[in-house]
């Protein structure tokens, strides 16, 4: 299970998580699952906004016996990729440990878009990889340096003209940069308008080149 997160909005967490999910879906005979805890994955993948039960509604159920299985609320995003949407109510983080245990009933690679902020301890402790998505930005690194939790790796979204680089990021965060992605303004423009269907194929075709093999693990 791979958890993607950031300390500052607009870092590219959802695009990176979605790309990772597409990589796994393409490479695994079992497909893959993306769990959207931030609410933006459908827009990035070019899907209609889900209207059914999502992660937040599942977590809101007071009794374990009353909850339906997570498999029953997963929707088919593509032929090989399933998605659990965020849902429409507030997320009850006190039940994340049970949520993670239920996720492990999926016999396939799982990628979680945890959005902005430090993920719940239950997510961090059960994840095989905890990836901080960041740009080489002073404000982002300043926030990351103040955290009491370290990621297992960093996905660095490089932008032209930034004074800070890979070594600066690794020194401040105390974790290796496991992947570097060059910021592509055209992708940002396509995410901002309702023509995301074209982005899907572009990401799928470029995913293997964008993400190194060390990130393509369960």
pLDDT in tens, 14-44: 999 999 999 999 999 999 999 999 999 999 9
Residue 215 forms part of a structural domain: no
Q: What is the pLDDT of residue 211?
A: 53
Cβ 35 vs Cβ 52: under 8 Å? no
Q: What is the mean pLDDT of residues 189-204?
A: 47
Residue 102 forms part of a structural domain: yes
Residues 6+ positions from 1 with CB-CB distance below 8 Å: 100, 103, 104, 110, 111, 112, 126, 127, 128, 129, 218
Question: Per residue in 130-144, pLDDT tens?
Answer: 999 999 989 999 999
Residue 218 forms part of a structural domain: no
Residue 85 forms part of a structural domain: yes
CATH of the domain at 161: 3.40.50.300
Q: Across the chain, what does the average pLDDT equal?
A: 85
Number of folded domains that form the chain: 1
Cβ 77 vs Cβ 47: under 8 Å? yes
Cα separation of 215 and 117, whole Å? Answer: 21
Q: What is the pLDDT of residue 163?
A: 80
Residue 91 forms part of a structural domain: yes
Per cent of the chain over pLDDT 90 is 62
Residue 178 forms part of a structural domain: yes
Residue 213 forms part of a structural domain: no
Cβ 4 vs Cβ 111: under 8 Å? yes
Name residue 82's beta-bridge partners: 33, 76
Residue 216 forms part of a structural domain: no
For residue 204, the enclosing domain spans: 2-208
Cα separation of 85 and 184, whole Å? Answer: 26
Task: Give pTM, 2 decimals.
Answer: 0.84
28 phi/psi in degrees, rounded to 5: -100, 135
Predicted confidence band at 61 (pLDDT cuts at 50, 70, 90)?
Answer: confident
């Amino acid at each position: 299970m791979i958890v993607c997160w950031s300390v500052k909005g607009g870092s590219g967490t959802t695009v990176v998580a979605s790309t990772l999910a597409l990589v796994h879906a393409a490479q695994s005979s079992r497909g893959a699952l993306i769990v959207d805890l931030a609410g933006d994955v459908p827009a990035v993948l070019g899907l209609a906004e889900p209207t059914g039960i999502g992660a937040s509604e599942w977590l809101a159920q007071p009794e374990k016996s009353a909850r339906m299985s997570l498999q029953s609320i997963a929707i088919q995003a593509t032929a090989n990729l399933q998605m659990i949407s965020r849902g429409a109510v507030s997320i009850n983080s006190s039940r994340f440990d049970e949520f993670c245990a239920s996720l492990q009933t999926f016999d396939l690679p799982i990628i979680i878009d945890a959005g902005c902020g430090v993920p719940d301890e239950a997510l961090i402790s059960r994840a095989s990889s905890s990836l901080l998505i960041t740009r080489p930005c002073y404000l982002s690194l300043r926030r990351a340096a103040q955290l009491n939790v370290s990621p297992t790796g960093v996905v660095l979204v490089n932008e032209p003209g930034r004074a800070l680089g890979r070594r600066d990021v690794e020194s401040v965060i105390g974790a290796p940069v496991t992947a570097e992605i060059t910021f592509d303004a055209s992708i940002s423009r396509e995410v901002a308008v309702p023509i995301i269907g074209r982005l899907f194929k572009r990401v799928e075709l470029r995913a293997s080149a964008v993400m190194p093999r060390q990130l393509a693990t369960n």
